[in-house]
Structure 1
Amino acid sequence: MLKDAIDLAVKWHKPEDRKGSINGKSLPYIIHPFQVMRLVWSWGAGTDVTMSASMLHDVLENTKLTYYELDGVIGEEAAKVVQELTYEGDKDAKKEYMKTFRSSSIEALIIKVADRINNVQDFMTTKPDYAQKYFDKAKDLFDALLFRKSEIEEKYGVTTAQNIVDSYLSVEVSLKILEENNKG
């Protein structure tokens, strides 16, 4: 399943580049799903479903691939997680979308936290003035993480849940340091 997910992500994200650049160079978009998958795996939440859904978390939102095509490649369980991660509203509805992770599958919550953390880390380098604002837009997501920590502990273990929370806190501290450095 994971190899099929990787192949599909590479196929559909191949023409895209990441937003932002460093020294005038942007990365191929496909790097982002790999980074999200690696975070999920490094936290201890790496299963076929979470890693496959991590690789494909943006594919329905950013490409013309359909849910049914996705389901046919990675199966219903992982495809449902990708569907939960797919944002289909306008900019103004994004706050409401973040609130949905209080009741989403625990897999979708974990992947969305990894996605947001990876994006913030990238913005800290490519758009440092925007990084804190982007982080703050996900307050409801991070509140959901803390609210549902016991569910993560139950499914993946205490260490995994703490690893995820620690990653969130680490980014929060890094943003404060970045802000202090930019003041001086």
Structure 2
Amino acid sequence: MIGASTHRHGRQTVALSGTLIAALRSCAPQGLRAPANSMQFAGKNHRSLAIGPKMCLNRAMASLPNLVEKALAFATEAHGSIGQLRKYSGEAYINHPIEVMRIVKTAARYTDVMLAAALLHDTIEDTPVTNDDVEREFGTDVATMVMELTDQCHQGNRAMRKAAEAARLGMISPNAQTVKLADFISNSASIVEHDPGFAMKYLREKMQVLEVMTDGDAGLYARAVAQVEAARETIGFRL
């Protein structure tokens, strides 16, 4: 491919066009730490999550050894503080991260860091929580994985953004890929059930991700691919 660069990751060799390389560079995080007391995503500036009365619960749990329990309390407060609900069902948003965590627990191997990251995976992307907040509360390992799971690509049209994000996801750690597979499985079921029209576009984009995100749990990868195949029969679309 003329004007392309090849990146080898795991079992795949991914050819990146010059345009995609530029888009990918534009979404590469500049280190893991977000600017103090603020964050940028989707063109919006958000202040750090204020530590109000309810957030005292998280402070009280800081001394507990159970990292996952602490992550659940933190994520519940973060999503609840902005009244975030699931798009189609209207249920509390925290039900989605909990489902993602439960799916991760079906992987051949998982760690407490992976379970905590599963619970926190949308906090930076969707709420005023910053990477600094996550690192301060949960440490570098969890914060690093949550950043791996946070959409970094906001330049260009939807096709360019999704292509750049797919390429980025192909380069994140195997453990983060396992969590992302669980996220995909959780979201796909809901979208196919409630919005088959959008599901066609969504699943095509996710197949683009699955083509390069091959280093996560093999069982969850097979489950994600099978889910796409089942959706093809249910809603009738071609890749």
Residue deviations 1:39-75 (CA, integer Å, cap 9, x gap): 1111233311110000000100111111111111111
- Tell me how far apart the structure 1 counterparts of residues 109 and 195 of structure 2 sit (CA, whole Å): 29
Name the structure 1 match of 2:45.
none
Aligned partner (choices 32, 48, 51) of residue 112 of structure 2: 48
Is the aligned partner of 1:112 residue 2:168? no
Is the aligned partner of 1:178 residue 2:234? yes
Assess if the C-alpha contact under 8 Å between 1:33 and 1:57 holds in 2: yes
Give the SS at the match of 1:38: helix
Unaligned runs of 5+ in 1: 153-160
- Say which structure is richer in helix: 1
Name the structure 1 match of 2:206.
138
Q: CA deviation at 1:138?
A: 1.8
User: In percent, how many aligned pairs have the same letter?
Assistant: 25
Aligned partner (choices 77, 83, 92) of residue 147 of structure 2: 83
Name the structure 2 match of 1:63.
127
Aligned partner (choices 81, 91, 97) of residue 27 of structure 1: 91
Assess if the C-alpha contact under 8 Å between 1:58 and 1:86 holds in 2: yes
Aligned partner (choices 74, 85, 96) of residue 8 of structure 1: 74
| TM-score normalised to structure 2 length | 0.64
- Tell me how far apart the structure 2 counterparts of residues 87 and 162 of structure 1 sit (CA, whole Å): 23
Aligned partner (choices 167, 177, 197) of residue 129 of structure 1: 197
Q: Measured at CA, do residues 140 and 173 of structure 1 come closer, stay the same or move farther in structure 2, by a change above 3 Å?
A: closer
Q: CA deviation at 1:78?
A: 1.0
Q: Measured at CA, do residues 173 and 94 of structure 1 come closer, stay the same or move farther in structure 2, by a change above 3 Å?
A: closer
Q: CA deviation at 1:30?
A: 0.6
Given residue 40 of structure 1, which amino acid in structure 2 is its aligned partner? V
Q: CA deviation at 1:145?
A: 3.1
Unaligned runs of 5+ in 2: 1-66
| TM-score normalised to structure 1 length | 0.82
Assess if the C-alpha contact under 8 Å between 2:181 and 2:221 holds in 1: no
Q: Measured at CA, do residues 45 and 144 of structure 1 come closer, stay the same or move farther in structure 2, by a change above 3 Å?
A: farther
- The ranges of structure 1 where at least 4 consecutive aligned residues each deviate by more than 6 angstroms after the TM superposition are none
Name the structure 2 match of 1:157.
none
- Tell me how far apart the structure 2 counterparts of residues 140 and 173 of structure 1 sit (CA, whole Å): 14
RMSD, aligned α-carbons: 1.8
Assess if the C-alpha contact under 8 Å between 2:72 and 2:116 holds in 1: yes
Please say which structure displays the higher CA radius of gyration. Answer: 2
Name the structure 2 match of 1:156.
none
Residue deviations 1:102-155 (CA, integer Å, cap 9, x gap): 211112211112112211110111112222320111223201233x3xxx5xxx
Name the structure 2 match of 1:94.
162
Task: Report the number of matched residues.
Answer: 165
